[in-house]
Structure 1
């Protein structure tokens, strides 16, 4: 018999103070303030062992990770336990003030192989040069909470050729791309000696700084982000080769309520803005620059999809007047947006453990003659169960994470 008698429980996530995060958005949303002036980069909701959420039960606040371990059928459902044996997703709110590292996520097969190889080599899980923290893939989807900017995949061939032909410093790179392909070009710039990187990029950085200062750039221009990287620097020494990626990748603007999915092999980097992010329950990241963390170029190149990409920005598909879905081609997770007007209700049913996070408003969750109220900055964990009703006490915006039912 479970210690937990209720099917819907308040859930408390964990703030991650990564240096690239903003100081206000998440703190204001949570209503906690930020007297220490720490960066509030991510708010994690899930059962990741390194930062499990707590759920508020009649027995006090308990670790969701531990509860799933102790009561897997009750918390996950039979299907999810059999297929994943854990909560297969991690749900987050992000506030990106400074751009994140250029990164690629491996496939599930590659992650398992890399994990076993690093284990056999005796590289500890916490080692700074560890690439594979677990055996899982890390596909992810983000839905914008504001105008959000990111890098996503290589530019289509014509657009990349235009960049190579019009940026003076890249004059010698066009031939490498034409004779080889995306991989030949990227391998060349990512493997160049640092002195050559500096020689090629210094005049480019200086020119972009001047252009941004004179108002000649917008966020749609690579130079805007390059200038942002170096603004305020007294001296520009070794230039991060991640700068090449800013010119070679698609710069994508995602408006509030729009989404983009990022599968294995697609190189990407978040640039600026706030979003809701949902991913497989993994911490496997292969980095290629714009970060003080471990960069492993050979490993990155091994798992990158070297092809031009036309970014697919999803507007969402209407499930009902109140519910919008963002289809993702993975079995690990699904995400929906729920918008309710004052006093509007919807009925729902959870076939897996669901996490509902309130971006704004207040909602009452009712089931089996019981109820719980959650407001802006709060989340609830909903155990697999029969129907429940959600009623908005004011205009309310909710995002929900779940595991899709088996086909």
Structure 2
């Protein structure tokens, strides 16, 4: 039988230095210096084999991936192990300074087909042109830590008609859109030759840069993001066809504490800001622009939902004093925000492997484990714990809904 103290373990994540990341937020969160101004894009907390977190204890450190491999039922709980065979989520902190690629994630069924097909073709897992790195889907939820901007799904038919009428470079597409619809329109621009894309959008890009410099547009306008993208591109670079998506997709602004869920088939792109992100444990991304990585337009088209989307902004639901849960329509993961102050504590029993990270203030767990801002902890199934705070404190918790807590 495990002692209670063995079920609550400090966790140290892994930083990913992708080029689009900022240089200050994540180092500030983690309390580390970054004199070289390296980009700190993501902080991973989970058991993904490419960058597993470390369990930190007096008995020595251990990879979370290895710990789960050696003791799956103890680490995950019986129900989670039987359902998934692994930790089914990956928990992250993101700092988006430069916008991310236009992308879509496949369903689990399509991911299995795509992975098996690429395996049969003998495409190495680390090949730049590989689309499917695993057999899993990649639904994701994000909670804004700052003002956060993203693209999410196609605009309504009426909004697209208005756009095609008002943007001079897009006027030529209006009759075709009215006749053939959004899928045909998107396929047309995504399959257009590069020379034609550059010729069509050159004036649009110049105008966008001028309008942003003049201060006559703000981030709610697509041109603002076009100008933002080209602030980081080399002189004379080809014009990216991802610009069409900036105009055709909904531009969404989230305030701190607001969330949005993105399921399979919803085209999207993060634009700017900091967030907490939780996703299925997968790295399957189909890209369509605004990136130097592999773009596969036919595969992107195959998995995209070509329907108008009204973005659903989640404010969360209070389930316990101090705890707000953001409902997600998948069995792989759940997320909640715990906000405490002096006099208010939070008591729970882990029903799955839970990961908690402090994003503001500090916390005390069971009067024995102190967590400062940026520090994380893993709660093993069956762990009973109480979190206290002497002042304002914010914690985000990742878990598996309905997980088993029958592990001793």
Length-normalised TM-score, structure 2? 0.96
> RMSD across aligned C-alpha pairs, in angstroms?
1.6
Q: Which runs of 4+ in 1 moved over 2 A?
A: 1-5, 231-237
Deviation digits for residues 199-225 of structure 1 (CA, Å, limit 9, x no counterpart): 110010011111111111100000000
SS of structure 2 residue aligned to 1:275? strand
Match of 1:400 in 2: 397
Q: Is the 8 A contact 1:4 1:58 kept in 2?
A: no
Quote the Cα distance in structure 1 between the aligned partners of 2:232 and 2:382: 54
Tell me how far 1:36 sits from its aligned partner: 2.5
SS of structure 1 residue aligned to 2:402? coil
Tell me how far 1:180 sits from its aligned partner: 1.1
Name structure 1 gaps, 5 residues minimum. none
Aligned 1:38-49 pairs, distance under 5 A = 38-49=38-49
Q: Is the 8 A contact 1:2 1:71 kept in 2?
A: no
Aligned 1:18-29 pairs, distance under 5 A = 18-29=18-29
Match of 1:17 in 2: 17
Tell me how far 1:320 sits from its aligned partner: 2.2
Deviation digits for residues 4-39 of structure 1 (CA, Å, limit 9, x no counterpart): 961101100000000000000000110011123210
Match of 1:292 in 2: 292
SS of structure 2 residue aligned to 1:172? helix
Tell me how far 1:181 sits from its aligned partner: 1.5
**Mapped pair 1:316 → 2:316:** yes
Quote the Cα distance in structure 2 between the aligned partners of 1:180 and 1:131: 29
Tell me how far 1:78 sits from its aligned partner: 0.3
**Mapped pair 1:270 → 2:264:** no
Moved more, 224-233 or 249-258: 224-233
Aligned 1:236-385 pairs, distance under 5 A = 236-366=236-366, 371-385=368-382
Deviation digits for residues 219-261 of structure 1 (CA, Å, limit 9, x no counterpart): 0000000011113767344101000000000000000000000
Match of 2:95 in 1: 95
Length-normalised TM-score, structure 1? 0.97
Quote the Cα distance in structure 1 between the aligned partners of 2:72 and 2:156: 45
CA 1:135/1:35 → structure 2, altered by over 3 Å: closer, same or farther? same
Deviation digits for residues 269-315 of structure 1 (CA, Å, limit 9, x no counterpart): 00000000000000000000000000000000000000100000011
SS of structure 2 residue aligned to 1:287? strand
**Mapped pair 1:211 → 2:208:** no
Tell me how far 1:406 sits from its aligned partner: 6.2
SS of structure 2 residue aligned to 1:176? helix
CA 1:46/1:252 → structure 2, altered by over 3 Å: closer, same or farther? same
Paired residues in the alignment total 404
Match of 2:195 in 1: 195
Q: Is the 8 A contact 1:342 1:396 kept in 2?
A: no
Q: Is the 8 A contact 1:154 1:307 kept in 2?
A: yes
Quote the Cα distance in structure 1 between the aligned partners of 2:235 and 2:54: 45
